[in-house]
Chains A and B, each alone.
Chain A
Amino acid sequence: MFEPATEQQLSDAVRDATGPLKIRGGGTRPIGNPVTGEVLSTANLSGISLYEPGALTIVAQAGTPLAEIEAALAAENQRLPFEPMDHRVLLGTTGTPTIGGVVAANIAGPRRIQAGSCRDSLIGVRFVDGSGTAIKNGGRVMKNVTGYDLVKLMAGSYGTLGVITEVSFKLLPGIAASATICVDGSTPDRAVEIMSRVLGSPFEVSAAAFGGGRTLFRIEGFADSVAYRRTQLKTLLSEYGEVGLETDPAKTAEIWANIANVAAFHNTAGDLWRISVKPSDAPALVAELGVTETMLDWGGGLIWALADPGTDLRAIAPHIKGHRTLIRADDATKAKLGVFHPEPGLAAISQGLRAKFDPRGILNPGLMG
């Protein structure tokens, strides 16, 4: 196992590698096809390099614990905009989530629909490519169109194009007040209709989800503003059924952490799928999948589905566009079905990029297919 403490050491380790490398941050998100190889960990590349609250930007080394970053931001009443989920209980892992891992897997949470994904807040990266060359792209300013945007490309590339060593983010101010509003007794069909209605209203919500028969919305902002939107939404929602309200911020935080972390499927048996569709397709797909349990986030655009082991959900209603990722399954199933949704029309480009960024094919080979 390599545990370099500097980018130079990491670069040397990659250059001198003679076989496949299994890239690891905190090891809490084992998403992807199984990889064999010597572990290259970024855990020792740790620390916040630069934090400017007045510029709403932070730069940190890839191995920095996410918790350390969140604590530093909270001390200045700021936050990462995209609310990264914690995969540990869901995937049965332990360890310390790192900021580099968040980027490599392009993690987001319920706030995705309002503030975008990790890639939308990521403004700069440094990484070491498969030849051991250290490369930078983007920087530490919020607006930057200088050259190609490899920042976006690196986000969600799961270490297959390079080993991320440093990341920069733009930030948002902390949240002054919050509330959760819910409508009971819905079906997926009805829930998506309600969520589209709310998301198409001017009363901005930062999250919209459906699970356990309840449709939930989160309202955030300054106190008067939250109170105003709460009232407006309550009126708007009253035609759909009994409207509940949660004004305790701690309760709201707990409700949405559970949705972000997919608590409904913690400690369950079965394969777990993560499906991205346009919201209005979600009810039909949920019905067709015929799986026992589902949960909707992102206003219906994200479906979490628990399926019988080994079932290929991609084979069902394939005409519904989007992508279906096998997040949790045993290695044999992952190997058989493939974790990521194949995109035949784009395979040549993806393979072409991989051949340029990692000519020897040693970085997490096979992880993305």
Chain B
Amino acid sequence: MEMPAPDATVLAKKTLLVERLSAALPEDAVIHAERELRVYECDALTAYKCPPLCAVLPATTEEVAAVLKICHDMDVPVVPRGSGTSLAGGALPTADSVILGVARMNDVLETNYDDRYIRVQTGRTNLSVTGAVEENGFFYAPDPSSQLACAIAGNIAMNSGGAHCLKYGVTTNNLLGVKMVQMDGTVIEVGGAHLDAAGYDLLGLICGSEGQLGVVTEATLRILRQPEGARPVLMGFDSNEVAGQCVSDIIKAGVLPVAIEFMDRPVIRATEAFAGAGYPDCEALLIVEVEGSEKEIDEQLGLILQIARKHNPVELRESTSPEESARIWLGRKSAFGAMGQINDYMCLDGTIPVSSLPMVLGRIGELSKQYGLDVGNVFHAGDGNMHPLILFDANKEGDLELCEAMGADILKLCVEAGGCLTGEHGVGIEKRDLMTAQFAPQDLEIQMQVKDVFDPKWLLNPAKVFPLASSASRRAA
């Protein structure tokens, strides 16, 4: 993955820039020593690293505005950073950029149970939003796998999803309002505790814009009352096709589980070796979870099990206790870690129509043979959001490039099947140059014009989302 060469004129301004930033922020909020900047050289896409010019850790919206105004005046690019858990390189700096980290802004500003929302600073982690309201029986629904670490700022930037979004939607469906600082330092408020917008749906536009339109410092989030209970069922099948058909039949039958998770044999084996969750040795596993009171769960699972039995499952295990539920989820939740034990891996995120599942899985198997790289599949089957994990050896010359080429082929396959490049991780740098597989030039041009409106100088996270060739003239201007 190529990044633009750093601008020498920006590099030459470092001393003055640090001076001005230090005057605007507390002393410990400006990091410019080379050794300390290593912390910010990459996010969770660790194959790419580059220390920034400097990093700032503002504690208030006013400090964020001051930083952006200085960088705007000095024509210095800014890369916003939540917790740095992006798998797409969304927070990867360039050598001529300032990392703006929101980690110090993690307060809860307001909780309102009557109106069912919470207002937080966006450096707060996803899980600690739920943590702030769970004593009162509420939760924040989007649950990305990285929820222990990832920040709401990054969730908004990438419009993050999670395992339970089949029922509750993704970030954009649970975001009510934001306070955002534009690149020139202007602070705007969009939405609030009420529903829908007075004019254009700018909130919908901001969510998922990968930190390219502004830095969101505060968010009003919808919270929901926790259901009385939840119960998963584990199903094993002797082929991916049959498991895929079962997913489709469950959906068609009128049940809406909160989660339908899919794992194929390579992932099942890896997680068994790693976590010992007691999964059966079979080709494909589904975890289907439903919510409600005991009686409601019985009713829904009764129907789901009836459908599953028609597909001759090799295993059908309904949880009978919280411990058993935890064991059923254990393997799924440790799947990425388990694959990481075997080798380095690249996690893809394409989404396909659920109906194309068997075809796409078959083609991924063929690509795996063709490239000589193993692939495990673990994904949110209910909504077609796939996560093929391609195993490679980062220390072996050429393996990363081979893996990236194979990843690109899989993502193009997702687009051909009627799907898209990324379902919940974002484009970042990872899928940036594949955007032309999904979008015609005019489709990308209008998106770049949106950025022109919010950030005319193209200083915010500029080398992301759009193919470098497409955005070159704007970035150079």
Say if the beta carbon of A340 comes within 8 Å of chain B: yes
Tell me if A140 and B418 are in contact (CB < 8 A).
yes
Say if the beta carbon of A45 comes within 8 Å of chain B: no
> Do A202 and B227 form a contact, CB below 8 Å, given A146-B421, A173-B255?
yes
Q: Which residues of B contact A106 (CB under 8 A)?
A: 196, 201
> Do A54 and B252 form a contact, CB below 8 Å, given A148-B205, A150-B205, A222-B296?
yes
Cα-based distance from A136 to B443 in the complex (angstroms): 6
Q: Which residues of A contact B198 (CB under 8 A)?
A: 323, 325, 340-343
Q: Which residues of B contact A116 (CB under 8 A)?
A: 169, 173
Within 8 A of B (CB), among A161-190: 161, 172-174, 176
Cα-based distance from A139 to B352 in the complex (angstroms): 10
Q: Which residues of B contact A349 (CB under 8 A)?
A: 188, 202, 453-454
Say if the beta carbon of A357 comes within 8 Å of chain B: yes
Tell me if A156 and B225 are in contact (CB < 8 A).
no
Partner of B254, one of A156, A173, A277, A325: A173
Interface locus among A84-92, A193-201, A239-247: A193-201
Min CB distance A106 to B, Å, is 7
Q: Classify chain B: how many residues form its interface, as a range.
A: 35 or more
Say if the beta carbon of B446 comes within 8 Å of chain A: yes
Tell me if B188 and A345 are in contact (CB < 8 A).
yes
Tell me if A146 and B385 are in contact (CB < 8 A).
no
Cα-based distance from A116 to B439 in the complex (angstroms): 28
Partner of A145, one of B166, B299, B423, B449: B423
Nearest neighbor of A153 in chain B, beta-carbon distance: B205
Q: Which residues of B contact A280 (CB under 8 A)?
A: 112, 114-115
Interface residues as binary, B221-237 with A (CB distance below 8 Å gives 1, 0 otherwise): 00001111000000000
Interface residues as binary, B340-373 with A (CB distance below 8 Å gives 1, 0 otherwise): 0000000000011111000000000000000000
Min CB distance B66 to A, Å, is 19
Tell me if B447 and A298 are in contact (CB < 8 A).
no
Tell me if A152 and B453 are in contact (CB < 8 A).
no
Nearest neighbor of A114 in chain B, beta-carbon distance: B224
Say if the beta carbon of B408 comes within 8 Å of chain A: no
Cα-based distance from A148 to B195 in the complex (angstroms): 21
Q: Classify chain A: how many residues form its interface, as a range.
A: 35 or more
Min CB distance B254 to A, Å, is 4
Say if the beta carbon of A333 comes within 8 Å of chain B: no
Tell me if B446 and A150 are in contact (CB < 8 A).
yes
Say if the beta carbon of A20 comes within 8 Å of chain B: no
Q: Which residues of A contact B439 (CB under 8 A)?
A: 136, 146-147
> Do A152 and B204 form a contact, CB below 8 Å, given A139-B420, A140-B353, A141-B418?
yes
Q: Which residues of B contact A322 (CB under 8 A)?
A: 192, 194
Tell me if B114 and A352 are in contact (CB < 8 A).
no
> Do A156 and B197 form a contact, CB below 8 Å, given A129-B446, A148-B209?
yes
Closest 6 CB pairs of A and B: A152-B204, A323-B198, A173-B254, A352-B453, A143-B423, A278-B193
A contacts, CB < 8 Å to B = 52-57, 76-77, 106, 112-113, 116-117, 119-120, 129, 133-137, 139-153, 155-157, 161, 172-174, 176, 196, 199-202, 204, 221-225, 228, 276-280, 298, 301-302, 321-323, 325, 340-343, 345-346, 349-350, 352-353, 356-357, 368-369
B contacts, CB < 8 Å to A = 112-117, 137-138, 158-159, 161, 165-166, 169-170, 172-173, 188-190, 192-205, 207-209, 225-228, 248-249, 251-256, 292-293, 295-296, 298-300, 303, 351-355, 380, 383-385, 418-427, 431, 435, 438-440, 442-444, 446-447, 449-454, 465
19 A-B pairs besides A116-B169, A153-B202 with CB distance below 8 A are A55-B355, A129-B446, A134-B442, A140-B353, A141-B418, A141-B423, A142-B383, A146-B420, A148-B209, A172-B256, A224-B299, A228-B296, A323-B197, A345-B188, A349-B453, A350-B200, A350-B202, A352-B454, A368-B199
10 pairs, CB–CB < 8 Å, chain A vs chain B: A54-B249, A143-B383, A145-B159, A147-B444, A148-B209, A149-B209, A155-B204, A200-B138, A322-B192, A323-B198
